[in-house]
Amino acid sequence: MTNSLQEAPAGDGVLGYDDVVRLTAVRKVYGGAVVALDGVSVGLRRGSFTAIMGPSGSGKSTLLQCAAGLDRPSSGSVELDGVELTSLGERERTRLRRRRIGFVFQAYNLLPALTVRDNVALPLRLAGRRPKRRTVEEVLRRVGLGDRMRSRPGELSGGQQQRVAIARALVARPAVLFGDEPTGALDTGTAREVLGLLRETVRETGQTVVMVTHDPIAAAHADRALFLADGRLVGELDQPTVEQVAAQMTRLGADGAGR
């Protein structure tokens, strides 16, 4: 199993020099028996918006967790913003995550007792930085919540809370924003707004967004959709349309394992 990018398979079209995330031959086995990822190699271009799709249990969340350094592959390598994650210790990985990635989940995970502004400032405090009022206000304005800074999460709608979570994920200017079903708990209209915000973030700031989703409409907001089945990459679409994504998902579902 290769452990360095120089030894990665050349010319297969998946890895490029402008990649902010690179996975090479990543395998993840849980408990010695469950193969969640079975040799995934893929590069994600800086400033791109990628959707990861696939049937339930195909390894989407595991891929995201490994790419973000939240989980460690059993073998293979992960490079994030030029740093090889698999060789780092736990403490270094935590530090790197705080500086270079943002994470948004289906559940907003905001602290109910803190104001919107303090929730957003939290990652900076955790990283030992003193949050500048202007930085926090700017990112909140960017997500359309400039007038709700003093509210508490419980006073906001689901879509607004998810926008706070996105602002919190963006405040430290991470190289990559990872989302695990970021619109999973939202109604269609609100989901569309949040996806539009992610799209705009990529366009305006050059940050990279990677999200896991089950929803073809959500995936169609991305530049590229990757399809997993049984822990392997089995397809991809550039500039995916809702119809193309839905058709691919039907194919993957139709034969059970996607192969």
Phi, psi for residue 30 in degrees, rounded to 5: -95, 135
Among 31, 89, 112, 128, binds ligand ATP (CB under 6 A): 31
- Span 63-92, contacts to ligand ATP by CB under 6 A: none
Residue 106 as a binder of ligand ATP (CB under 6 A): the answer is no
Nearest distance, CB of residue 101 and ligand ATP, angstroms: 18
Residue 58 as a binder of ligand ATP (CB under 6 A): the answer is yes
Nearest distance, CB of residue 35 and ligand ATP, angstroms: 8
Among 2, 3, 61, 244, binds ligand ATP (CB under 6 A): 61
Residue 62 as a binder of ligand ATP (CB under 6 A): the answer is yes
Among 34, 111, 126, 247, binds ligand ATP (CB under 6 A): 34
CB 89 within 8 A of CB 145: no
**Amino acid code (one letter) for 27:** R
Q: Which is nearer to ligand ATP, 27 or 99 (CB)?
A: 27
Among 4, 18, 30, 200, binds ligand ATP (CB under 6 A): 30
Residue 183 as a binder of ligand ATP (CB under 6 A): the answer is no
**Dihedral of CA 174/175/176/177: which sign?**
positive
Nearest distance, CB of residue 255 and ligand ATP, angstroms: 17
Q: Please tell me the distance from the alpha carbon of residue 85 to that of residue 211, in angstroms, as a whole number.
A: 20
Please list, residue by residue across 195-210, b when 16 or more beta carbons sit within 10 angstroms of its beta carbon and e when fewer do.
bebbeebbeeeebbbb
Among 15, 50, 54, 108, binds ligand ATP (CB under 6 A): 54
Per rule CB under 6 A, count of chain residues that contact ligand ATP: 12
CB 100 within 8 A of CB 176: yes
In angstroms, what CA-CA distances link 150 with 53, 116, 142, 155? 37, 6, 16, 10
Q: Which is nearer to ligand ATP, 48 or 62 (CB)?
A: 62
- The residues near 141 (Cβ < 8 Å, ≥ 6 apart) are none
Task: Give the residues across from 227 on adjacent strands.
Answer: 53, 235
Q: Please tell me the distance from the alpha carbon of residue 65 to that of residue 5, in angstroms, as a whole number.
A: 20
Nearest distance, CB of residue 66 and ligand ATP, angstroms: 9
Nearest distance, CB of residue 197 and ligand ATP, angstroms: 23
Please list, residue by residue across 52-77, b when 16 or more beta carbons sit within 10 angstroms of its beta carbon and e when fewer do.
bbbbeebbbbbbbbbbbbbbebeebb
Residue 60 as a binder of ligand ATP (CB under 6 A): the answer is yes
Q: Which residues bind ligand ATP (CB under 6 A)?
A: 30-31, 34, 36, 54, 56-62
